[in-house]
Amino acid sequence: MDSAKLEQGEYTGTIQVESDSQPLSLPFDLRVSSVRMGKPRLSLGMWDGSQDGRYGPNTAQAIRLMNSHLVDSPWSNLDVLPWPDDSYFDASDKLTRPLSFKALDAWVAQRPGARHYFVFANVGDEFTGIKAGTPRFNARVASWAAAVAEHMRSLKLNPEQLGLLLIDEPANAEQTQRMVHWAAAIRAASPRVAIFQDMDIVHGSETSEYSKLLLQAATLSDIFCPQLIVYNAGGDAAATYFRNLQQEDRQLWFYQCMGPPKSYGPQIYYRLAAWHAFVRDARGLGFWAFSDEGNARSSWNEYETSRMPYSPVFLDPKGITNSIHWDAVREGIEDHEYLSMLQDAIGQATDAKLKSDAQSLLNASGNALLKTYPVESADYAWIKSDANPFQPDGYRVRVLRLLEKLQTN
């Protein structure tokens, strides 16, 4: 049922639980607020790969479950993009033959209305036989990237809705230099697609050659996405560095790739990440990964895994099952929207008392919840004693009550 279709008011009902021993009748009360939530502004990506058949006959079910949990930024691998060879370019390194966008079009059609379409391009040290970093390489990549961007326009999409992750988590100077070469060439294209980069800059002020390249890579990115645990470890220096990048019209995102996540508290690992995103003005979140069951045939038997499983849902050939962890992801995105709506209302408020109360609640909620969030270690354990699972809901209800008051004043 779509709860957005419920009318404002008070509802009562009963849940009937059937069992072999004794049936139960559980009464409940429901209050639907007059405040309406629009499309959440915090983006969510799950490195899902829905285009490549990995979910088999469950693909439609997987997409429905992602849509219902506010995934608005699907991920694909490099196969959705057209990769030309030398014959596509003339002597001046301009693209002269049409590219085939059949795979890209099919993916966009599969995920209509997405805010972003992200591709893990996994680029190499050359393009069409031309070495990276050379003038001919730069010219060919720019010509190709501009053609891809123009095709996005033909689909009635903004070219920068297509984002390329060139190198995943560059781990050394060689990989980072490759990313810099490609990003610089793509940024020269007009129009152009966006550059998404996950990287582990800790303080933003390191002096090693690798660190200098990481800083250069960050400035070439449109979306820079550090691991949240790494961002936290960087302290004030990292926060200042990334805040300066944000002021240059770049987006900050966070991602999580710790595990095994099903052993973690759903609130502290999944839900509170969105609160941290709000405090740091991040525009998106990513969690590795919706489809990763550790190579097991079924999430229900983790003895079969050959490596750590990361999926927050339960994947099985017979179907995909929701989980409390996956619901925590959605709740976090909704929490972020509650906070953002309150922030909007503060800016429009004319009642000084309500405005002050709302700002105090906004400050207090973020500070209180982030105190329970790991800063220097990945202590997300479900049994973590200082993580009150009811705390986010308590603040969320208080935010809603203030929104209702501000709406009527």
Q: What is the mean pLDDT of each run of 10 residues along the chain (409 residues)?
A: 79 90 90 91 98 96 98 98 98 98 98 98 98 98 98 98 96 92 97 93 66 85 92 85 86 94 91 94 97 96 94 97 97 97 94 93 86 65 70 93 89
User: Has residue 251 been placed in a domain?
Assistant: yes
Short-list 262, 264, 223, 299, CA closest to 58: 299
Q: What is the tens place of the pLDDT at every residue in 39-68?
A: 999 999 999 999 999 999 999 999 999 999
Per-residue model confidence (pLDDT) at position 43: 98
User: Has residue 1 been placed in a domain?
Assistant: no
End-to-end CA distance of the chain: 32
User: Has residue 33 been placed in a domain?
Assistant: no
Per-residue model confidence (pLDDT) at position 373: 66
Per-residue model confidence (pLDDT) at position 107: 98
Per-residue model confidence (pLDDT) at position 204: 53
User: Has residue 9 been placed in a domain?
Assistant: no
* Residue 246's CATH number: 3.20.20
Residue type for position 350: T
The Cα–Cα gap between 403 and 338 comes to: 9
Per-residue model confidence (pLDDT) at position 72: 98
**CA angle, residues 19, 15, 5, in degrees to nearest 5:** 140
User: Has residue 21 been placed in a domain?
Assistant: no
Q: Cα-flanking dihedrals φ and ψ of residue 238, to 5°? A: -65, -40
Global pTM reads 0.94
User: Has residue 161 been placed in a domain?
Assistant: yes
Per-residue model confidence (pLDDT) at position 40: 97
Structure letter (DSSP) for residue 99: P
User: Has residue 25 been placed in a domain?
Assistant: no
Helix axes 272-279, 352-370, angle to 10 degrees: 120
Number of domains in the chain: 1
The Cα–Cα gap between 141 and 259 comes to: 37
User: Has residue 17 been placed in a domain?
Assistant: no
Per-residue model confidence (pLDDT) at position 374: 60
CB 81 within 8 Å of CB 105: no
Residue-number span of the structural domain to which 284 is assigned: 38-407
Short-list 267, 237, 216, CA closest to 390: 267
The Cα–Cα gap between 70 and 39 comes to: 9
Per-residue model confidence (pLDDT) at position 210: 80
